[in-house]
Amino acid sequence: MKYVNLGKTGLKVSRLCLGCMSYGSSKWRPWVLDEEAAQPFFRRAVEAGINFFDTADMYSLGVSEEVTGRALRQYAKLDEVVIATKVFNPMSQGPNMGGLSRKHVVQGCEASLKRLGVETIDLYQIHRMDPHTPIEETLEALDLLVRQGKVRYLGASSCEAWKFSKALSLSERNGWARFVSMQNHYNLVYREEEREMLPLCEEEGIGVIPWSPLARGLLAGSRKSLDDKQATTRAGSDAFATTLYDSPHDWDVVEAVKKVAADKGHSAAEVSLAWLLSKPAVVAPIIGATKMDHLEAALRALDVKLTPDEVKALEAPYQPHAVRGF
């Protein structure tokens, strides 16, 4: 396994991050693995040297954090791994059970600590920006958690680049703990982040940890068409995916990936991840795995090297998209 710094921090993370939304309760989403079925993935990830694990409070409404915490206590040394979780999405119908108010941020962190079974969260991320809470209130609350020792580093997720830039500036001006990472929507099918967010992150030393690196499985090459919903359980039940990938040009990208993969003797997933790993701002794609080969393919991708001509062939079919994923 290869390890790199998360942005300009001294924190070392593996070049792959295991996304734990897939582990928790199948009652929440039909494709989610229950605890017993999830355990082999944590064990294999740790054996392979992955030390970076990402979950969120809203995944399986807290059960993902519980499963992740128990698995890492069993298979890893907690001092050696980096546990990331997120706050923002509603955890119940109560008026203060979502968003980024001081109340919810602090209470959300305390609840996540209990579910994970740890004293400190390594990377605490805002899952989205909250249009109903002043960003100053959110940043001050996050800084409080760092000073209290409940959180070590702060991260953000998909948002407009100008809002992220404003947050970084406010933190600097007020002496608050600053965001060190950006978890954004970025893959071969969706590259709008290259316009503003990625240059901003490179300039500011922010580590990029993309979600949906295989475009909800589209870039894994298992589907027969853009509309094929039968390839996997998730493809047939993930309504969010249909809001992200619905352009006919998206399939042109998939076909380009398949061709390069066939010529190189690698899988489409390996080539797609190798492309993402080659981007300077990208620290660790967040990979989801509900079959062991998903995880093994991601591990193999670490050793796939693309030539300039192959990169050009992969990128050529891309057409601009409307902004998606915020």
Mean pLDDT of 240-261: 89
Please confirm, yes or no, whether 59 is among the known catalytic residues. Answer: yes
55 burial (CB, 10 Å; 0-12 / 13-18 / 19+) is buried
Q: Is 275 left (phi over 0), alpha (psi -120 to 50) or beta?
A: alpha
Mean pLDDT of 241-260: 90
Report d(CA 86, CA 124) in Å as an integer. Answer: 6
Q: Which amino acid is at 89?
A: N
DSSP secondary structure letter of residue 133: S
* Angle at alpha carbon of residue 212, lines to 206 and 217, rounded to 5°: 155
Q: Which amino acid is at 200?
A: L
Q: Which amino acid is at 83?
A: I
pLDDT tens figures, 136-190: 999 999 999 999 999 999 999 999 999 999 999 999 999 999 999 999 999 999 9
CA distance between the termini of the chain: 31
pLDDT tens figures, 38-52: 999 999 999 999 999
**pLDDT classification of 228: cutoffs 50, 70, 90:** low
- In the chain, where the domains are located: 3-315
Q: 206 near 221, Cβ under 8 Å?
A: no
Q: Candidates 3.40.50.960, 3.30.70.980, 3.20.20.100, 3.40.50.1820; correct CATH number of 3-315?
A: 3.20.20.100
Token digits of residue 280: 């300077």
Residues sharing a CB contact under 8 Å with residue 226, sequence separation 6 or more, in sequence order: 218, 245, 246, 248, 250, 251, 254
More confident residue, 249 or 266: 266
Report d(CA 100, CA 281) in Å as an integer. Answer: 27
Residues sharing a CB contact under 8 Å with residue 296, sequence separation 6 or more, in sequence order: none
Give the model's pLDDT for residue 230: 57
Q: Is 64 left (phi over 0), alpha (psi -120 to 50) or beta?
A: alpha
Residue 194 dihedral angles phi and psi, to the nearest 5° = -70, -15
Give the model's pLDDT for residue 198: 98
pLDDT tens figures, 34-86: 999 999 999 999 999 999 999 999 999 999 999 999 999 999 999 999 999 99
Report d(CA 258, CA 262) in Å as an integer. Answer: 6
Q: Is 322 left (phi over 0), alpha (psi -120 to 50) or beta?
A: beta
Per-residue pLDDT at 244 exceeds 90: no
Residue 153 dihedral angles phi and psi, to the nearest 5° = -135, 160
Q: 179 near 147, Cβ under 8 Å?
A: no
Q: 101 near 131, Cβ under 8 Å?
A: no
Strands (E), the chain: 3-5, 12-14, 17-19, 23-24, 33-34, 52-54, 82-87, 121-126, 151-157, 179-183, 207-208, 286-287
Task: Kindly state the helix (H) or strand (E) to which residue 254 belongs, with its residue range.
Answer: helix 248-264
Q: By three-state DSSP, how is residue 200 classified?
A: helix
Given the residues 23, 59, 153, 190, select the one marked as catalytic. 59
pTM value is: 0.95
